[in-house]
Amino acid sequence: MSIGEMLAATVPMARTLNLQFLETTPERAVVALPDQNEYHNHVGGPHAGAMFTLGESASGAIVLAAFGDQLARAVPLAVSAEIAYKKLAMGPVTATATLGRPAAEVVAELDEGRRPEFPVSISIRREDGAVTGEMSVVWTLRPNG
């Protein structure tokens, strides 16, 4: 099962918005939100909440890709998130997420018995390449037990 399939199966909101997981690697996750009238705002573009969910889902995809081998001993949880809406988004939009710290550093903290936190940066773009939103999600790996 791919990371996108796993997220769609375990996170109902990803299914609800029909998110498309285009790329999910430990280095980068790319997730698309199709243009859907039922998720538009008052000006005909994707609603801010749908864009937030798109960005958060891209961040979750990269976290699973980078730390999926740690799931037996730790649960990934979002700690905080911030989003800035830069330009009007119209039509389909795509979120690209990247880790803000090397995965090996995060795992080393987990190995030391700590609860590591790390940022994920997300850029949301419309089809013409213009950045419509920038987002940051801070994640943690909470040790089990």
The string of DSSP letters for 87-107 reads S---S-EEEEEEESS-HHHHH
* Average pLDDT over every residue of 59-81: 96
Supply the pTM of this predicted model. Answer: 0.94
Predicted confidence (pLDDT) at residue 10 exceeds the cutoff of 90: no
- Report whether CATH 3.10.129.10 matches the domain 3-143: yes
pLDDT digits (tens, 9 = 90+) for 120-143: 999 999 999 999 999 999 999 999
Q: What residue ranges do the domains of the chain occupy?
A: 3-143
Residue 145 has pLDDT above 80, yes or no: no
- From residue 141, give the alpha-carbon distance in Å to each of 67, 72, 78: 9, 11, 9
